[in-house]
Amino acid sequence: MLRLEELQVVRGRTRVLHGLTLELGAGEIAALVGANGAGKTTTLMALSGLLPIACGRATLELESGTLDVARSTPAALVAGGLIHCPEGRQVFARLTIEENLRLGAYLNRDEAEVRRLLGEAYALFPVLGERRGLNAGGLSGGEQMMLAVARALMAQPKVLLLDEPSLGLAPQITERIFDTLVELNRERGVAMLIVEQNAMLALEIAHKGFVMEEGRIVMSGTGRALLEDAGVVQAYLGASA
Amino acid sequence: MSGYLLQQLVNGLTLGSLYALVAIGFSLIYGVVRLVNFAHGDLMMIGAFSTLGLVAVGEVAWAFVPLLVMAGGFAAGGVIERLAFRSLRGAPMITGFIVTLSASVAIQNLGLMILGAQPRNFGFPSVFRERLALGPVNIAVIDLAIPAATLLLAGAVVLFVQRTRLGIAMRAVSENAVAARLMGISLNRAVLAAFGLGGALAAIAGLFWGGKFGQIDPLMGFVPGLKAFVATIIGGVGSVPGAVLGGYILGFAEVAFVGFMPSEYSGYRDAFVFALLILILLLRPQGLFGREEEERA
């Protein structure tokens, strides 16, 4: 579904990714874990077309053909079903909840379908429906995360890139969000690449995991195997784990 | 109410409308690209000379002239953005500032080379010169037409920004351009919409300016453009209704200064306007309706 081969990305004068290779199959959840500064967010930004790819290849395989990420605009990638839910949620605080959701389906010109998707979003997170006319800036952090996920779903993603979905959220909210992600994966077959500082949380729901260090993958395996690996536990999950 | 006072009110309303039309563009453009576009006022000049050209050709019915002038203003705004500003995306604010000033000087000098420095008389249909008796004063038709057209156009822009898909996308870009791109919004399209709409409104303001004051020249847009920028600051940058209100506040203030101060001071009207700018920046830098915003380098 999504394939990265020897990807290199340069930000400013610094090479952040030094030949990253990973593959995400259809319907899979993959966790990308690693210390701060390893290049996890950079990977996602390159995949959604926000950063240029210096070298290597990233491709999105779709029924309609293969999209080369380096040659596609962010809009073309969104149209292809590759949706990036960015770090820090990035909801449009001065726009209403409904306007935020409609922007998630910005490329969809079928108004009837957009309405149906809005209905689905409000069914998934009723709190958003109750406040649809209010500015998103008035929502709590957890509600903004729900909005960010719902907004990403409005685009009917095939691959969802999630950057730190648990960041700054209370444990119950995080659990709620992760339950929703698992449900979306099972019921709609949405493939996900999750970047998470809470590595344990992400590896628990992931089919496979990748450990990143200084711009490359240093270890990979099933989520369970990585969770049980003493080295990973020590390096990334904290001594208490 | 005395006739003199009423006449001053009408003058303030007309001048304020012209500032408002130009200020809306400043506001829209700043919203999407965080650029104070000092070349924006020169689109007034382009609009005024386009009108002159269309009338000189004489083939076009007067009713279509404003529409064509606005279409030309839209195109000119888009072309200027493409040529001068697109490569500046993400550049520091000071670079943008210098480039917009340079673009303004370039447009003015191009105008001087092609059109000549001599001011030209601006032939407007005589129906606009007719005066209607309104209570104690006679008001020229154009002094009614300008505010009416301004409010109509401003209302249309507000509706566009609030309700339409592209308008919502423009507000999203204005708030968070990176997140907007992740929605699949094309920055270029939002930027073109802002420069094009701004250009159309400035061009029609140029047509009105010529109709109201009777003379146009290639440098005519610069000072009104700067004043419209002051109006934008008064209203709060980034808010369309704020820009309109700022335009009227400035128009009334300027006319009051000229109309009620001893006549030997009237030569200082521009100084008065810019002193007002300094005062606003000192007392309420975010304007009357703007929100406070951290400056981005």
What pLDDT score was predicted for residue B295?
45
What percent of chain B stands above pLDDT 70? 97
Does the residue A118 lie in any domain? no
| Distance of residue B289 Cα from the nearest chain A Cα, in angstroms | 14
The partner residue sitting opposite B186, judged by closest CB among A75, A103, A155, is: A75
What pLDDT score was predicted for residue B131?
84
Domain that residue B195 falls in: 2-118+126-283
Does the residue B293 lie in any domain? no
What pLDDT score was predicted for residue A63?
85
C-alpha separations of A34 from A41, A66, B94, B112 in Å: 11, 29, 38, 62
pLDDT tens, residue by residue, A71-88: 999 999 999 999 999 999
Question: Confidence band (pLDDT; 50, 70, 90) for A56?
Answer: very high
pLDDT tens, residue by residue, B47-56: 999 999 998 8
Does the residue B297 lie in any domain? no
Coil, helix or strand at residue A163: strand
For an interface test with B, the pick among A85, A103, A107, A118 (most B C-beta atoms closer than 10 Å) comes out as A103
pLDDT tens, residue by residue, A16-26: 999 999 999 99
Question: Confidence band (pLDDT; 50, 70, 90) for B60?
Answer: confident
Domain that residue A26 falls in: 2-91+156-237
Does the residue B291 lie in any domain? no
Residues A227 and A198: beta-carbon distance below 8 Å = no
Does the residue A137 lie in any domain? no
Q: CA nearest A207: which of A83, A31, A23, A18? A: A31
Asked whether this complex has an ipTM greater than 0.90, the answer is yes
pLDDT tens, residue by residue, A172-226: 999 999 999 999 999 999 999 999 988 889 999 999 999 998 899 988 989 888 8
Query: Among A104-118, A158-172, A218-232, B104-118, which stretch is predicted with the lowest mean pLDDT?
Result: A218-232
Residues 161 through 180 of chain A touching chain B, CB cutoff 8 Å? none
pLDDT tens, residue by residue, B245-293: 999 999 999 999 998 888 888 888 899 989 988 888 888 888 877 766 5
Across-strand partners of A4?
A22, A58
Mean pLDDT across chain B, nearest whole number?
90
Q: In the numeric block, which tokens belong to residue A187?
A: 């019921």
Does the residue A169 lie in any domain? yes
Taking the C-alpha atoms of residue B137 and residue B151, their distance in angstroms, rounded to an integer, is: 23
Does the residue A200 lie in any domain? yes
Taking the C-alpha atoms of residue B31 and residue B210, their distance in angstroms, rounded to an integer, is: 29
| Distance of residue B169 Cα from the nearest chain A Cα, in angstroms | 7
Across-strand partners of A34?
A212
Residue A9: half-sphere exposure toward Cβ, Cα within 13 Å = 31
Q: CA nearest B66: which of B213, B207, B220, B210? A: B207
C-alpha separations of B265 from A14, B4, B12, B117 in Å: 60, 18, 18, 28
The domain spanning residue A66 has which CATH number? 3.40.50.300
Residues A51 and A11: beta-carbon distance below 8 Å = yes
Question: CB-based contact (8 Å) between A73 and chain B?
Answer: yes
Question: Confidence band (pLDDT; 50, 70, 90) for A238?
Answer: low
Question: Confidence band (pLDDT; 50, 70, 90) for B1?
Answer: low
The partner residue sitting opposite A92, judged by closest CB among B176, B181, B184, is: B176
What pLDDT score was predicted for residue B77?
96
Q: B182 and A102 in contact by Cβ < 8 A?
A: no
Higher pLDDT, A179 or B123: A179
- Split into its structural domains, chain B has a count of 1
Residues in chain A with CB shorter than 8 Å from the CB of B184 are 74-75, 78-79, 106-107, 155
What pLDDT score was predicted for residue A241?
38
What pLDDT score was predicted for residue A24?
96
Does the residue B56 lie in any domain? yes
Is the pTM higher than 0.95? The answer reads no
Does the residue A203 lie in any domain? yes
Higher pLDDT, A63 or B99: B99
- Mean pLDDT throughout B194-208? 97
Q: Is B291 exposed, middle or buried (0-12, 13-18, 19+ CB in 10 A)?
A: exposed
Question: CB-based contact (8 Å) between A42 and chain B?
Answer: no
Does the residue B66 lie in any domain? yes
What is the number of CB-based contacts under 8 A between chain A and chain B? 61
Does the residue A83 lie in any domain? yes
The domain spanning residue B177 has which CATH number? 1.10.3470
What pLDDT score was predicted for residue B293?
57
What pLDDT score was predicted for residue A239?
42
